Amino acid sequence: MTYQVFARKYRPQTFDDLVGQTHVSRTLKNAVEQNRLAHAYLFVGPRGVGKTSTARILAKALNCEKGPTVTPCGVCDNCREIAGGNSLDVIEIDGASNNSVEDVRELRDNVRYAPAKGRYKIYLIDEVHMLSSAAFNALLKTLEEPPPHVKFIFATTEPQKVLPTILSRCQRFDLHRIPANLIAQHLQLIAGKEKITLDPAAAHSIARGAEGGLRDAESMLDQLVAFCGEKIAEADVLDVFGFTSQQTVAGFTEKILCGATADAVQLLHEQSEAGKDMMKLMSDLISYLRDLLVFKVKPDALNEDVDLDLQKSLAAQAQLIETDRLLELIDQFAEAEGRMKWAPNKKLHFEVALIKAIQTLSQVTLNEVIENLNALRDGKPTPPSVSAKKSSPVAAGVSPASKKAAADTAASTAPRVAEQASQYMPPASEAMVDPVQVWEQVSAKVPPQKRFLRSSIGSAHVIGVEGRNLLLGFSPEQKPMMDILGTQANRKFLETLLHEITGKDWSVKISLKEELPPKHATAQTELAEGSKTSGTADFKDDPLIQEALEMFKGEIKT
């Protein structure tokens, strides 16, 4: 026997064999059982999702010798002839090559003849959108009132090109793209029947590369068997088709979200040197960002498309970026993808888009500034939607002299703060954690993009622990910083970090302490003495003023 490719060998033969199209198979089975058969059906969907296979299964269900039945036997003459494509009563027509008025006239003349063996004469027209307007119009009357023994089944990938007068005469079924997990399971089923060892990671890589088309996935598996033999690993899939592993794309995204420009560019260079297609890598990156966006909005929406390990990565990265920032990131990479299609040097445009995207994440938008300033002006907590961002003191405009003054202040007030904190600290034998050390680890884990949050953390005084409560104090002059730290979103974020560090659930308690000195008191005093205008020194070192100066690239003129 001649070799038969997997896409033909494992073509679905019954309604139950259809993968990922339950809504279509259930409707058609009910129609056959209840004898509510339409005279014209239109199957719509992308390539490789089962349009032609569904049409053939419906034809077998109608013309099987034991039918009409939802479970055609597959062994009678009618079933075998329909499966082989040589049935006299099931006429398969290619719409691309039979699209003229003369072809439709011939069809119209033949419909009046009774079927040769089966109950129905079935016309299956594939790619029906390729018919000309004149051919469509010639078919209208026959399609609306065909003889009782005739059924029409149309299939198309572009329903918008089919005339509305044709659509209105058909029952339309939209076949969906098949989820990656279902494709991977089907590939494992084929591998088991063919006695092939297919790694789960390799099956998922094939499924992602097929982009929802089962026929494409089966053809890719066929090619891999010819390349690898009886054992297929994920590395083989990546080498043959030039794909990038899911873990690499996830790591690439994490470097972008954390602002690691050098590491992200280095990873891009490594993929380029390995011969990966830059357009495919950009597409994979955008698809991953889309998954991250959907996960933030509705985590359980990706259960069928994303495996468990990737869902854990998405859950961790969802905490690093706000939804509006993620939308902006997707738009930037989508624009870069459009430019890359026509650019000879695709890597160059990828690098530029990558660096620009990371820089954009570190910037504060005008809307965020206005929301934050309005909230502080009205004495309300900062809106959770404001992205908290804070850079180093030097980058924010604080001079080295101010940093030294702040350090001197901390040193001079340390004994008094320690004495106050001792009231809250449990005995050494009972203390389970060092609160100061834990708070430093929390501060180190806050991403650079959360600049407001990092600023408020730097203004907080660690008082001690009380059970599972971490006590933080703010001086009266630092109330705006306390409001930022006290928002529900920021408290939940900090408590999540505390759980990661200590392995236990902690709560954060925040309060104003009259006896606590402001952290920049000495620095403000020195600036006031050295300034010609004393009124300026009273406010120029205020953290909120410093934030505004940094955001708008401004300066205070005396």
**For position 422, what pLDDT does the model report?**
46
**For position 274, what pLDDT does the model report?**
86
Amino acid (1-letter code) at residue 103:
D
pLDDT digits (tens, 9 = 90+) for 120-137: 999 999 999 999 889 999
Domain 246-361 in CATH 3.40.50.300 = no
- The most distant pair of C-alpha atoms in the chain lies apart, rounded to whole Å, by 107
Cα dihedral 373/374/379/380 (nearest 10)? -100
Q: Cα(415)–Cα(413) distance, rounded to whole angstroms?
A: 6
Task: Tell how strand 469-474 and strand 121-126 pair up.
Answer: unpaired
Amino acid (1-letter code) at residue 6:
F
Domain 6-174 in CATH 1.10.10.60 = no
Q: Model-level pTM?
A: 0.62
Tell me the CATH class for 400-537.
alpha beta
Alpha helices in 298-365 (DSSP H): 308-317, 323-340, 346-361
Q: How many CA atoms lie within 13 Å of 392's alpha carbon, on the beta-carbon side?
A: 4
Tell me the CATH class for 180-241.
mainly alpha
pLDDT in single tens digits along all 558 residues of the chain: 578 899 999 999 999 999 999 999 999 999 999 989 999 999 999 999 999 999 999 999 999 988 789 999 888 999 999 988 888 999 999 888 888 888 888 888 888 888 888 899 999 999 999 998 899 999 898 898 899 999 999 999 999 999 999 999 999 999 999 988 899 999 999 999 999 999 998 999 999 888 889 999 999 999 999 998 889 998 899 888 888 888 899 999 999 998 889 999 999 999 999 888 899 899 999 999 999 999 888 888 877 777 777 888 888 888 888 888 899 999 999 999 999 988 889 999 999 999 999 988 877 666 667 767 776 666 655 554 444 444 333 233 333 443 444 344 444 444 443 444 444 444 443 345 678 888 888 888 888 777 777 777 878 888 877 777 888 888 877 777 787 877 877 878 888 888 788 877 788 888 777 656 555 443 333 333 433 343 444 556 666 666 666 666 667 765
**For position 519, what pLDDT does the model report?**
52
122 beta partners = 90, 151
> DSSP secondary structure string, 108-167?
HHHTTSPPSSSS-EEEEEESGGGS-HHHHHHHHHHHHS--TTEEEEEEES-GGGS-HHHH
Structural domain boundaries in the chain: 6-174, 180-241, 246-361, 400-537
Q: Cα(502)–Cα(491) distance, rounded to whole angstroms?
A: 16
**For position 510, what pLDDT does the model report?**
81
pLDDT digits (tens, 9 = 90+) for 406-444: 344 444 444 443 444 444 444 443 345 678 888 888 888
Q: Cα(420)–Cα(400) distance, rounded to whole angstroms?
A: 29
**For position 183, what pLDDT does the model report?**
93
360: closest CA among 390, 385, 328?
A: 328
Give the neighbor-by-neighbor strand order of the sheet with 90-94. 90-94, 121-126, 150-156, 40-44, 171-174
